[in-house]
Every structure is written in structure tokens, then in C-alpha cells.
Chains A and B, each alone.
Chain A
Amino acid sequence: MNMKNGKVAACAAVVVMAASLHAGAALAADLVISNWDGYMAKDIAESFKQATGLEIEVVNHGTNEEIMGKIMAGQGRGYDVVFVSSPFAEVLNAQGLLEPLDKAAIPNLANLYPEAANLAYDPGNAFSVPYAWGTSGLCYRSDKVSATPDSWMSLLQPADDLKGKTTMLSTDRWLMGAGLLAKGYSVNEADPTKINEARDLLIEAKKTLLAYDDTTFYAKLTSGEASLVHAWDGWCNYGIAENKDIKFVVPKEGSDLWVDTMVVMKNSENKENAMKFLNFILDGKNHAWAAENILYKVPNKAAMESLPAELGEQYPNMKMPPAELVKYELLRDLGAAQKDYSRAVSEIKAAN
């Protein structure tokens, strides 16, 4: 290869790349959906097209916070349906960024458990459809703990053999939630003195903690690096799948109820298609996919009843009935108290 050929080849490569620079913008699907990677069936586009004839494009986001920031900064333009957790859906609605649901177009709403159709942040599903729900609690190695953990204090003030072998969720609401619940307060507590009490408890707990971990805590359990972790129920199941000694328990003080929802953007240009998509997901067969593959409970009666019995045997928290789940406290947007939570979390993270 001489110099000239090299230069020609390089120029050609740049031209080819320039072509794909613009290819991005041109493609127009009938519907753009943003979701966490792996949260829907891989063949969702094909099966949806078969059912409705519509092309969908699925894009991914990593966290609620990121997609939320992006929607606020860009007014949600370009997106039709977005998956976010309920406090975020609540805020998006308060900001006027969500389209009210056209219930006539979503007859499958009838598949939802009555409890799921009446959640306090959106009674009657005016602007959001619940996709999955669950709680958080303690996920532990039953072969490595001397006493079965049953309280938030088992995590916050662990027995000697568990010191340095516990992890906690670091996302602000759940981190604070553990402290608030241990003190007997609400997960949405707005009283600054109570928030500070929880903060002090959590700063103390930091001393016995291995790490704050939102993403790999179940791997820490399987490797044996940790023995007791603060976990979302569905994620604990990923640990259980690898090791049968891993168990999940909701502490006796109670816990939170989290809901992942689907919402339609006000700026969407494909609202009709968006409603069709919500209806498609709510179909018992389609919604069951999430329960079976993600191991999250779904608020869809038809879907849950279609699940094989073994699933509940292997992952006992999948059997938790809706009536029990909704007894836990629903996470709500904090409004003005958000500032106090942020500051408390910063103090915890900055403490030695």
C-alpha cells in the first residue's frame, strides 16, 4: 500500500461514514418507545407489527433520572411512549408533558388488578399504565447468616458476622426509605427533623457497610462478597436464579411499593398508535412475558394467572398477592421536601 492509495482509502471511508451520519435522522417509525434494555420481549417489534401492522422503534435509557432530564430539556419531542417509575410519571404529568390516556382505545385496561387501577399517584389510570410493580427488602444468603434477618435494623446495625458484608441501594429514595422505615416513619416523610433522624441512622450504618450498590448487589451475593443486601424484589430473583440459598424477605416494619409505568408524551405525533401499543402490552399473553423473563410481578391479573406454578415455587416473592403488595407504602414525588432529601443523601455520602 503506498501513500496515495492509503489516502484514497481513508477519504472513501470518511465518505461512507458521512452517509451514515445523516441516515440517523431520516428513518420514521410509526411509534418510538424508550425503555430499559431488556425490559420487553426482544421480538416485540415483530409481534406488534403482526398484531397491528405498525412499525415500532425501541430506544433505551439507563435510568429514570436520565430519561427524565432528557424529556424535561427537550420537551419529550420524538418520543411517543416512555417507561418510567411512578414518582417520575407523577412529575411529568404535573409538568404538563403527558397525554391523558384514551381509555376507549385501551380495552385491555380491564386486565389490571383493581388495586393497580387505583394507585394514589394516578387513580383511574388517567395518564399512566402500570407495567410492573414490587417492593424492596432484604436479600440474603441463608447459608451465611446466623439469624434470619427480619428487620431494617438487621441491615442498618448488623450482627457481628455480617459487618462489612452488607450493601445498600444508593438511589436516594430507597436509601432514605430504609432509614425512615427503620425509624417507623413514612417513605414519603416531609418533616425535616424526621428526615435528619433517618440520616443520622444511615450515617452510623455506613460504618458497617461494604458498599452502596444499585446494580451488582446480587452478583456480590452469589460470589460471597456480601451476605445481606438491600434489594428490589425482582433483582433478588436474579441472585436466586444463580444460587438457591439466596432468599428475600420484607422487613417487619414494612416497605415501599414501587411501580414502573408506561406514559404517552403530550408532544407525541402518534398518540393513536401509542394507545394501541399500551393495549397490546396489557394483553395477558404479552404482559406475562415480563413476569416470566424479568421475574418482576406485573399488575395484570390475566398475565399473572397464566404463569406456570413452578415460577412461584422457585421465586416465592412472585407469589405475593396484590392485596398484600399494596399494603406497602407507595413512593410519591416529594415536592418541596426533595431539597431536604438531596441534602441528607449528600451528607450521608460525604460522611466518613
Chain B
Amino acid sequence: MSILIQIAYLISSILFIVGIKKLGKTKSAREGNIYSAVGMLLAIAATLVTLDILSFVEIFVCILIGGSIGLYVSQKVEMTKIPEMVALFNGFGGLASFAVALSDYFLKTQSVDTYPDSVNAVSIIVSVLIGGVTFTGSMIAYLKLDGKISGSPITFKGQHPLNLILLIGFVVAGVLTYMNPGDPIFMIALIVISLLLGVLTVMPIGGADMPVVISLLNSYSGMAACATGFILNNNVLIVAGSLVGASGIILTQIMCKAMNRSLTNVLLGGFGQTVAGPAADGPQIIVKEIGVEETAMLFESASSVLVVPGYGMAVAQAQHVIRELMEQCEKRNIDFKFAIHPVAGRMPGHMNVLLAEANISYDKLIEMESINDEFPNTDLVLVVGANDVVNPAARTNPESPIYGMPILNADKAKTVIVCKRSMGKGYAGIENELFGYPNCLMLFGDAKQTITKVVGELKEM
């Protein structure tokens, strides 16, 4: 029997790997997700078959509850809220591994009285740490993303020394648990410290850095599953857990690179607090305004258009009206594409999902590296709800806090129209040089209403 379950787990692992491989191409991505789901189903079925099920009712009820919640959330969630959902699910994954580790610990120390061996004990301790940090950290990230607590960095004096002390405390309690596995007091200390560490490490991180944080927590949830695999001596947990762990780390690196920040810098937090001073002393930016009709005329006379969307566009729910704008332009044989910055949106790849939902073909969505050389040959760029990602200061001004960040070279186009509600600043809290450039025109107003009017004008032309 044991060899059969091992073979089933092996097939599951292969299905996860092939699934992720297929997820790498837009055409086969959906199929890949199904492969991976089949792998999961097989792992669950194999586990159920080989366990002499003693508590069928409880297992069935738990699966029913979890399954209904999962189904409900997955069908109801709005695409703008996917980052919140991913944050929440990261937390659930962390808590699940945390609970499995504790379950194993209490089983071995209290019910059965066979103490965990050393590998087992170390795995339990590691699993409690990663699982606990993932759980509370993800909950804070969720609350920040959802606006239930302030997205601005919450810092206090002595924060970093406190985290260090807690970490040392964890190591000490871990060693004591290892030496006295039967005494739950040290395990309780481990639980409390790990949960506290999750809260304290995510609190100081600002809302703009959330794409990095969710990616990192995604990785942690995989590592927690992996640690659980070491506790239970289970290969499929280790394979699946390390795939997720690797995926999260790569996305974290990509996000850090896109914001020109080091991971340490993000984790220490507090970005965007100290930069308001120097920006205020800078030269006053004089902007030129443009109206709806003139905007429509510019679109009419352009032969190539690039749209730079930002999260502001999604907040204004302007993606559908931008698709109409695209249809108007395509009717006139105007080349119309989207230039997507890696941090457009609030999690990696978020903007693509939002535009796909608005029924925009994915071959129109071009990533930064591929599109940046096209800006100088583009007649018209429309920036909607984006700010820092088109600020030329990132290239030109070494004093700027965003200096060195890769940006979309919108300023190099013949004409740039920036659709914006007001002269407010972006996430980095700095002035955007682009707005004062001679080729830049400001179209003030709510993105959805203003662009609807532009589309209306175009329809009449």
C-alpha cells in the first residue's frame, strides 16, 4: 500500500511541475492550472485511500466548509480585489501549516507520549515560525490593502531592536523546546513570538510596497508547506512547497527590481516619509491643460497610440471605456497598444488581469522592456492613473528618491496626454517632472467620465 501512495504522490508532483510549465504560456495556461488541480486531487485521494479513515464525518464536514468558502470567494471576488484575496489565502496557507505542525507536536508530546525525534522537533519549530509569521503578516498585508488600517508605514522607535530581541527569544525558546519537548510552555512562547513577529515585520511597510510583501508572503506560505513536509516525512509536500517558495522569491526579486529597491530596504520600511521636503523646494512645475475636444482631435490625427495604465485607472473603473477608445482608434487604423510597467497595479501582473477582464486582447499588452524603444516613434501617449512609473526624474535627477527606477519612457513620445484627477502626487510623494515638459498636456478630471467624453467626440467625428 505504501508504495502505491508514493507512486500517487510522484504523479502529483509531476503534474504540479508540468502545470507550472504550461502556465508559462498564455495559450496553455488554463490547461496548466487544470493539470495542477488534478495533481492536487490525486494527492488528496491517495491520502484518503491509504488512511484507515477513522473520522470520516469530521473530514467530510471540514472539506465541505472549506470548499464552499473557497468556491464562494473565488466566484465573487472582483478583479481589483485579487491582491487582497491572495494576501488572505497566503495567510490561510501559513496558518494551515502552523496548525499541522502544532497538531503533530501535541500528538507526540501529550496523547501518545512518544517524543518527537530531533529532525521532527526542528521541523516543527521551523514550521511554527514560518507559518506564524506568514499568517499574521498576511493578515496585516490584507488589512492594509483593503484600507482597514492605514497603508502608510507604521514605525516606532526601537522597532528593529525589538524584532531582533524577539528573534533571539525565538531561538532560545526553540532550543528549550528541543531539549524539553514535553513541556508546552516553551512551545507557547514560540507560538506567541512567531505571531508577533509577523505583525511587527509587516506594519512598517508602506502600501506602495505591498506587491513586494505579498510576493514574499506567497513564498513563505510555500516554505511553510515545505517545513510541514519535513515533519511528516512527505515528499509531495516538499516538492509543491518548494515550487511555491521559488515562485514567490522570483516575483519578489522582479518587483524589487521594478521599483529599484533592495529587499532589505523594503523590509525595513518607512519609504515615502522623508522625501516630501526636498521636492517642495524644487522649481514650480507649469503645466498646460487640454480639453476633451482637443484630445479627441489629437487621437483622430495620430497614427500610433500607446496607453500607460496605472492602478488609478482601475480605481476609476475606466478600463471598459478605454477599450471603447481602442475600438474607435482601430476603426481608424490607428495602432493602439498598452505599455505595462511591472508595478502597474497592486500585485505582479495585476494590470494585465484588469485589462483582460475589460476584454482587451492580451497581445495588445506589452511589457516595459519590449515597448520602451517604441515611445520615440509614437505620436500620442495617454497616461491614465499612473504617475511615478513615467517620471523622467528616475533617469535624470540623481537627487530624486526614485532615481534609478526603471520607467516607461512616455516623455519621449511626440505628445503625451496625462489624464488625472488633480495635481496630486504619486505613491512616492514627489512631483512629476513630465507634467512640465513641453510635449505634455494635462487632461484633468475623473478618468472614466473624461475618457467617455473623448470617445463620444470621436464617435461624432
**Bound together:** no
**What residues make up the interface of A, taking CB atoms closer than 8 Å to B?**
none
**What residues make up the interface of B, taking CB atoms closer than 8 Å to A?**
none
